[in-house]
Chains A and B, each alone.
Chain A
């Protein structure tokens, strides 16, 4: 896991004096790197990918997000030419992945979700072999340094850690200076540090102008990396936008968790302008609201009541909320209590949304104040 911080600072893919390999980058951006129309793939009776369409612009990081078995890998493998679609049309760099598989394989980089290398092949031998297989005139040894594998040059593949193996696969995916790189669940099974170093790596690939197609079921990964996120559920595309737009589209209240010392009347808080709901929270309360200034009014009200504010944290709609809502397990349900709060059993409606009337101690909620 060494040196990723340092590495990223000096991340470069070509010698500094070499000319830009993508002089036509701006023009190229006008055509999508990938165009998918009505892609359908069935395995027997199961429709793994169902009428999926999307574009990936050149130079962007496009993230396919979805639960396991949603069809991410099938989609990616159709794009790579690995699987033959049952319907629809795919163009990657203008090529049909089925009709021109070999031509396409020269121009794309591939990291497969399930792949391995011979156990007794050394890191340097792997790099050398794949350079030849990808018809490169020379071996890009500096990839080893860039990926933090220099110290593992003579190590056998089966002696590498999970993160090192993934980085070797990234090296192989970059060995042909690809125009599009496919990374299928690249951080699954990695520890957080290894995951973050892979993220830095992906940013480096993007900064070089390469289009990146990424699949993951980690929300934070999509949030950290993606220019655009497509959420896929049971083979269907349920969203396709920038992470920011997706989060905005949820139209969700902000949520503030307060820890206070002293008496605090939840009814008073609930009556404030902009506050939509109040729940008891551990050591204080949780309020939901929207609009400008409601948090300031909330703090002022606590002060007015003579209670002391010990801690305040806010949470806005995250990609995770979007994801959970769109993949069916909706977390934002006005009747659902926030994390950690006790709720009276069976009561799915703690407040009347129309009147904004909050729950109060009279409803039997314990522990609203100390």
Chain B
């Protein structure tokens, strides 16, 4: 436990010193919410159903964006870099168990995603009067499920990528199309029908819709498809990472 704590502190510091991850997790979402709020405002109506506006839909969507950027880019790049630079090798020589290393990394990225979400929520609330009708417990559970699913995909990428460069390319190839097609950056309500049906195939879309449903006070029962897709993603990611992951 002492080891996990010490390594978590160190990984946290390293995260803050890494400009790329810092930007995507903590700065970029804030920029998005401010930009969207300035352009679209947060008035209910138009294409959005119920008493909710653009920012009300965007805030949970951007939260998912943070989680997925951490999962598909932060974790695989960090892990593959540490492996390629023989950093994992040095850690392997210590009496620390490998699970401690993975645990510390996951804790740091999870906490950073929470901070990224908190910053986004506070900005949306203060600047654009964000509405929230769900329960924090429900949203936290949904957040955790989404994080588990995409973090496991991140480890899957780190497992199949032989170099940090490949991990980065694979992560970005998965992330950027999904970012635009899943409703995370731009609401699907604004998209043509064809794009919307394609979006249904992307796990990230289900993450966005699950968190939006929970945000507006929807019941878990109504989101069962989303939960199943995310759980399936988690199982595939975990199984493949556990089989394929190499320390060197």
Contacts and interface: CB of A to CB of B under 8 A. Distances in A.
B86 A114 contact: yes
Contacts of B87: 115-118
Contacts of B17: 120
Contacts of A112: 86, 89-90, 93
B13 A125 contact: yes
B219 interface: no
Given A116-B87, A116-B90, A117-B87, A106 B95 contact: yes
B222 interface: no
B32 to A, nearest CB: 27
A120 B93 CA distance: 20
B109 to A, nearest CB: 15
B86 A115 contact: yes
A133 B6 contact: yes
Contacts of A102: 95, 97
A141 interface: no
Interface string B59-86: 0000000000000000000000010011
Interface string A139-173: 00000000000000000000000000000010010
Contacts of A116: 85-87, 89-90
Nearest to B101: A133
B200 interface: no
Interface string A108-147: 0010101111111100010011101111000000000000
A133 B94 contact: yes
Nearest to A169: B90
Nearest to B13: A125
Interface in A196-239: none
A125 B95 contact: no
B243 interface: no
B103 to A, nearest CB: 13
Interface string B1-30: 011001100100110011000000000000
A240 interface: no
B96 interface: yes
Given A118-B14, A121-B14, A128-B6, A134 B95 contact: yes
A110 B6 contact: no
A133 B7 CA distance: 8
Interface string B86-111: 11011111111100000000000000
Contacts of B82: 118
A47 interface: no
Given A112-B89, A115-B90, A121 B10 contact: yes
A153 B55 CA distance: 47
A22 interface: no
B94 A105 contact: yes
Given A112-B86, A115-B89, A129 B10 contact: yes
Contact of A80 (B86, B93, B96): B93
List the 8 closest pairs (A to B, CB-CB), nearest first. Answer: A132-B6, A120-B17, A115-B90, A133-B94, A110-B93, A116-B85, A105-B95, A116-B86
Interface of B: 2-3, 6-7, 10, 13-14, 17-18, 82, 85-87, 89-97
Given A116-B89, A118-B82, 11 more contacts: A105-B93, A105-B95, A114-B89, A117-B90, A120-B13, A120-B17, A121-B10, A125-B13, A132-B2, A133-B91, A134-B94
26 contacts: A82-B92, A82-B93, A102-B97, A105-B94, A112-B93, A114-B86, A115-B90, A115-B93, A116-B85, A116-B86, A116-B90, A119-B85, A120-B17, A121-B10, A121-B14, A125-B13, A129-B6, A129-B7, A132-B3, A132-B6, A133-B3, A133-B7, A133-B91, A134-B94, A135-B2, A135-B95
